[in-house]
Structure 1
Amino acid sequence: MTKLGEDLSRARRRRGLTQQSLAERAGVGISTLRRLEAGDPRMQLHVLARVLHVFGDIDRLDKLMDAGVDDIGLALMDEQLPKRVRPRKGSNAF
């Protein structure tokens, strides 16, 4: 969360926005924005979404927990794969 906050702060500054300006554009209070940039883990997701929308990067939320790149989940599934696959009785094998 700390890195996310630092990255958001850097993105804001690169765009030449003050905290007050970004807070107004995102429709949040300045104290909320400061907590987001500080990496407060209690921050609500909709605040992040609003800030990303102001930055024009709302599509990044789409990739946040993309199942296709869930390395741990895929590894756990691979561990459960059978060692070999046998045809079922009475089924037509290729």
Structure 2
Amino acid sequence: MDHPLPLPVERAIRKLGSDIALARRRRYISQESLAERMGASLSTVRRMEKGDVRVPIHFFGRALHVFGEIQALERLLDTSRDDIGLTLMDERLPKRVRSKPRPPGAL
């Protein structure tokens, strides 16, 4: 079953593609050179820069790597900073923690 892509997702991918194109131009890198460095075809780079949602995410990651920005991908959903997830976990914590009874003779 094919679900339509939510508009915010489409916009975010389009913006990422546009940002990659801008970063490439600011570094004076041609699309051909970026494709070669990424191990991708020229058409993939062009589609990625246009925000084509069918371009696999690893190509976006490869572009970020070429630009020295791969840590941006690593931080996308950093679980140590996931405020919602951490709050939900904290809500499930027990109110009290009781010690388990020790067997006789144990320290």
Q: After TM superposition, is the score higher than 0.5?
A: yes
* 1:15-52, Cα deviation, whole Å (9 max, x unpaired): 11222221122121111112211222222122122212
- Structure 1 stretches of 4+ moved >3 Å: 88-91
Amino acid at match of 1:39: G
**1:69-89: per-residue Cα shift (whole Å, max 9, x none)?**
11221232233234x315357
Other-structure match for 1:30: 42
Evaluate the alpha carbon distance shift between residue 88 and residue 18 of structure 1 in structure 2; reply closer, same or farther with a 3 A threshold: same
1:85 aligns to 2:89 (yes or no): no
- CA 1:57/1:68 → structure 2, altered by over 3 Å: closer, same or farther? same
The answer to which of 2-11 and 55-64 deviates more is 55-64
With normalisation by structure 2, the TM-score equals: 0.67
Structure 1 residues 16 and 29: alpha-carbon distance in aligned structure 2, compared to 1, 3 A threshold: same
Cα root mean square deviation, aligned? 2.1
Whole-Å separation in 1 of the counterparts to 2:14 and 2:32:
20
Counterpart AA for 2:29: L
Matching of residue 63 in structure 1 with residue 75 in structure 2: yes
| Runs (5+) with no aligned partner, structure 1 | none
In structure 2, the gaps of 5 or more residues are 1-12, 103-107
Q: How many residues align?
A: 90
Q: Percent identity?
A: 52
Q: Distance in 1 between matches of 2:53 and 2:87?
A: 28
Matched residue SS, 1:25: helix
Equivalent of 1:19 in 26, 31, 52:
31
Query: 2:49 aligns to what SS in structure 1?
Result: helix
Tell me the TM-score normalised to structure 1 length. 0.74
Structure-2 change in CA distance of 1:48 and 1:77 (3 Å): same
